[in-house]
Chain A
């Protein structure tokens, strides 16, 4: 399984490297051959099964969007690759987003999602009900995202703001996005495994680690 961390120097403000680390560690513990490659801004986009897009500040977010357009990122997803995006990465995948004021900039247009600026800034713990599970994390963004026809949210917000105070992120075939930034896959081992299972097409054996205790503790602190 090839994982590409996209432009970590631009999209990596909040420890987003933790997601690649979690996928690699949990995948390898189940015998999946996982490779992780960091994609530099001036390098060609490598082939990958999963692309990770992290969070970033306003200027770098626009630069990353332009560069992703140049390297044909959308074609890779259309050809069967997966993408997991957080925060700025989520906004980039949509049709338009506002940064540095209220001007709207074109995103990659993979999904019909539009992000405008919202006040106050959403800063704090975020808990999202995803099916029968709970996703826990931390958000820090000034965006309000609305989802167009046919695009489903990742889940309902139990605590925090997410897209709009009601729902968070979006999910579509081969694509997940959330405002829970940073090492969200480290904090939510079940979600990390779900992504690994979707891409590998295999049922994974249970894996006990200290991350389970972290997850249970965070759920009891912010989502119960």
Chain B
């Protein structure tokens, strides 16, 4: 199911260039060939994103954690004829490349938090899913409150916003929109929302995810979606979940996806059933066999993400954690000290990656037994079952290593 996209001559030339350059880039073996073509296309026609989305239905997904998985769930839920930036290239160049190579009439685009305003403006989305905001790569990204403020300005007057009511920074960002569907996604990470974004007084939290400030800023009560015992509730209607991917965090991702599908007029029950088809996303949650070991691979990039990932590790699995601190990871691994490691008490953790010593020191000082593995390729065969949680570039390296074996 393809659409004909009516375009200006300039846009037609620019999108031709995107396809050509990306094909060339892939042939030369430079990366996955999704960014450089988009860059050329946007240079030739700065309005290319508007042209490419004019006759299509677009849904945007943004937030610090869970963008790629939630966008993949949204594509399944929305059904046949839905495409998107499936390689995870989530800046404008990646959006352009995806829109040129994929002519589906419906597009679900995951968007880097810093580009949300620009992408909302140029793609006129039918829905915008806002997951969460927390500290991530502070050496290069705007500090998280600035980001929330920029979202707030960008979302002013928008409709079709579906947002996490349990995250005070997301509520602060989304409350300027004219129409918001609030969903209550379990959000254990609160360290970035300790003080009120309106008045800086301390925010208070209840046991059910509710929160409030003395100034009157509080969790919106007009909600339409929540979770109870693994069942999604959209108002009075229930949708059972049968996810194949693990963790409470993905039940929350499914909740926001089905609330959005309902907003778009889709059938939430049928959409919910389709979510079970998702077994892994770009290597996340995939199970590999490597030198006799069964290795389950999980991506986590920041304290909130690690908290969720470590809580989902099975007690029978050995835990390996790999940490790098390259530019894409954020060059400062100080955030290791912000991870809640209380679920690791009594476990032994294997520390890998370029910053394995930072990780091992953090764990030892937190009274967790840590072992340092300098060279994984020196390991012999074993029948261990391992859960490997890795941050961005470490995840990429391990995925390549596991796929090559």
Contact = CB atoms under 8 A, between A and B. Distances in A.
Interface of B: 135, 138-140, 143, 145-146, 191, 194-195, 200, 202, 331-332, 334-338, 357-358, 360-362, 364-367, 370, 372
A140 interface: yes
Contacts of A21: 337, 365-366
A210 B332 CA distance: 19
A16 B338 CA distance: 8
6 contacts: A25-B364, A57-B146, A124-B139, A138-B334, A183-B362, A209-B364
Interface string A137-153: 01010000000000000
Contacts of B357: 210, 213-214, 217
Contacts of A211: 361, 364-365
Nearest to B371: A210
10 interchain residue pairs of minimum CB distance: A182-B334, A9-B194, A15-B337, A18-B337, A15-B334, A214-B357, A138-B332, A14-B334, A210-B360, A25-B365
A45 to B, nearest CB: 16
A112 interface: no
A224 B335 CA distance: 25
Contact of B338 (A17, A40, A57, A63): A17
B364 A210 contact: yes
A203 B195 CA distance: 41
A16 to B, nearest CB: 8
Given A140-B332, A209-B364, A214-B360, A63 B200 contact: yes
Contact of B195 (A63, A181, A186, A210): A63
Interface residue SS majority, chain A = mixed
Given A123-B139, A183-B334, A186-B337, A18 B195 contact: no
Contacts of B336: 15, 18, 183
Interface residues of A, number: 35
Given A17-B337, A214-B361, 4 more contacts: A13-B143, A18-B336, A123-B139, A183-B362
A197 B140 CA distance: 36
Interface in A110-126: 123-125
Contacts of B202: 9, 40-42
Interface of A: 9-10, 12-18, 21-22, 25, 40-42, 57, 59-60, 63, 123-125, 138, 140, 181-183, 186-187, 209-211, 213-214, 217
Contacts, number: 93
A32 to B, nearest CB: 15
A123 B334 contact: no
A115 B241 CA distance: 54
Given A41-B202, A60-B200, A209 B332 contact: no
Nearest to A21: B365
Most buried by B among A40, A63, A138, A210: A210
A91 B188 CA distance: 31
Nearest to B370: A210
Contacts of A17: 337-338
Contact of B334 (A18, A25, A60): A18
Nearest to B334: A182
A140 B139 contact: yes
Contacts of B140: 123
A21 B365 CA distance: 6
